[in-house]
């Protein structure tokens, strides 16, 4: 049986269906998870999708972080469950303290929606192993609060430990040190502001391309799950 | 019954683009002499009992856990007379 990857739907999630589709395209079994249900239904990995969970009330991700499903996701992540947070999912992971730092209002106050060039800095996480370190890719971003921030000590530690997994080539929002995505120390939890699930098919990916640069996030985790279950 | 006010502000070292946008708008409206504006949040917490030390400790706990993200924000708790 193919490994199962769950995608959480919160009230206000927007990209859960795209994330489920990306999981299916990679060859894994896609399992919808519901914010009020603490049962993870035996999934082997979890994706927290983009959107505006709970209307971004209070702070982006702040209410979602206390939802019943997140209690299970947080406990699982601490035991090594692979978790990928995309955009709002990244914000939820920071609010959960599974990842350090925070995502705040973009410099210039603009909501930025465009295809973004990134450099993959680390291929040593379970979500990025299918990339070559240093590989340049194109993936869409769409956010108003995507500016990564952390104190200098935390930023230095992230760099020293190789936990910056992707950087912007043309920083769209003032993110500290051009950071687009980071991992936890163990490498099972990854947060990313750009949307790999929107770059998985020729028809709907970035135009004129490359259109499918996001797919390796999903094939990376699939290969990892197959290898650990073999 | 007592009302406790929790003010939440971005830490001084965190850039506040909203406050900056407000500040930039002020001279156009004829308000000169403003060197900085920072925007924050104010929570009014109504208690069913007195705002004694135990109750204030609980409010500080809720501020720490939910009302503020202490990675980027600081908060201040006070009883409203």
Nearest to B69 among A102, A105, A107 (CB): A102
Chains A, B: CB contacts within 8 A come to 31
For residue A212, the number of C-alpha atoms closer than 13 Å in the C-beta half-sphere is: 12
Mean pLDDT of A62-81: 97
- Per CB-CB distance under 8 Å, the chain B contacts of A109 are 17-18, 21
Q: In whole angstroms, how far apart are CA A206 and each of A59, A137, A200, A214, B54?
A: 30, 11, 9, 10, 56
pLDDT at A229: 84
pLDDT exceeds 90 at position B1: no
Please, which pLDDT band fits residue A230 given cuts at 50, 70 and 90? confident
- pLDDT digit string, tens, across residues B67-78: 999 999 999 999
Establish whether A87 is a catalytic residue.
Answer: yes
Active-site residue (options: A35, A116, A197, A198): A197
Smallest CA–CA distance from B40 into chain A, residue: A58
Distance separating alpha carbons of residues A101 and A109, to the nearest angstrom: 20
Q: What CATH code is carried by the domain that includes residue A182?
A: 3.40.50.880
pLDDT at A80: 97
Tokens representing B77 are 């708790």
Establish whether A197 is a catalytic residue.
Answer: yes
Interchain CB distance below 8 Å, A174 and B15? yes
Instruction: Put the strands of the sheet holding B2-10 in their side by side order.
Output: B40-47, B2-10, B73-80
pLDDT exceeds 90 at position A1: no
- Residue A139 dihedral angles phi and psi, to the nearest 5°: -140, 140
- What is the count of structural domains for chain A? 1
From chain B residues 14-43, the ones with a CB under 8 A of any chain A CB are: 14-18, 21
Q: CA of B14 to nearest chain A CA: how many angstroms apart?
A: 8
- Per CB-CB distance under 8 Å, the chain B contacts of A101 are 71
pLDDT exceeds 80 at position B81: no
- pLDDT digit string, tens, across residues A21-67: 999 999 999 999 999 999 999 999 999 999 999 999 999 999 999 99
- pLDDT digit string, tens, across residues A108-152: 889 999 999 999 999 999 999 999 999 999 999 999 999 999 999
Q: Please give the residue range of the domain that contains residue A213.
A: 4-229
Bridge-based pairing of strands A102-104 and A147-149 is antiparallel
- pLDDT digit string, tens, across residues B7-51: 999 999 998 999 999 999 999 999 999 999 999 999 999 999 999
Q: In whole angstroms, how far apart are CA A60 and each of A56, A87, A95, A104, A152?
A: 4, 10, 8, 9, 23
Distance separating alpha carbons of residues A118 and A120, to the nearest angstrom: 6
The model's pTM? 0.94
Nearest to A95 among B14, B18, B69 (CB): B69
| Mean confidence (pLDDT) of chain A | 97
């Amino acid at each position: 049986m193919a490994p199962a990857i769950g995608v959480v739907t919160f009230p206000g999630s927007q990209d859960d269906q795209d994330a489920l589709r990306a999981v299916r395209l990679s060859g894994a079994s896609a399992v919808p998870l519901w914010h009020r249900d603490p049962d993870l239904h035996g999934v082997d990995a979890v994706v927290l999708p983009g959107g505006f969970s709970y209307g971004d009330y209070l702070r982006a991700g702040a209410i979602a972080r206390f939802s019943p499903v997140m209690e299970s996701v947080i406990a699982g992540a601490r035991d090594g469950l692979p978790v990928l947070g995309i955009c709002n999912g990244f914000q939820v992971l920071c609010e959960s303290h599974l990842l350090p730092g925070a995502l705040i209002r973009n410099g210039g106050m603009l909501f930025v929606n465009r295809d973004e060039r990134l450099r993959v800095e680390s291929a040593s996480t379970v979500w990025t192993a299918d990339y070559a370190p240093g590989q340049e890719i194109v993936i869409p971003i769409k956010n108003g609060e995507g500016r990564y921030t952390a104190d200098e000590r935390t930023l230095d530690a992230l760099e020293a430990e190789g936990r910056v997994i992707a950087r912007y080539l043309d920083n769209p929002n003032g993110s500290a040190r051009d950071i687009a995505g980071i991992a936890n120390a163990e490498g099972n939890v990854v947060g990313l502001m750009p949307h790999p699930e929107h770059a998985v098919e020729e028809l709907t990916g970035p135009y004129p391309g490359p259109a499918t640069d996001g797919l390796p996030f999903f094939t990376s985790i699939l290969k990892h799950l197959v290898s650990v279950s073999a | 019954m007592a009302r406790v006010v929790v003010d939440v502000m971005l830490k001084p070292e965190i850039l506040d683009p909203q406050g900056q946008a407000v500040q930039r708008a002020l001279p156009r409206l004829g308000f000169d002499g403003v060197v900085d504006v920072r925007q924050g949040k104010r929570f009014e917490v109504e208690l069913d009992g007195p705002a004694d030390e135990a109750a204030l400790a609980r409010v500080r706990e809720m501020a720490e856990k939910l009302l503020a993200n202490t990675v980027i924000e600081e908060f201040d708790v006070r009883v409203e007379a």
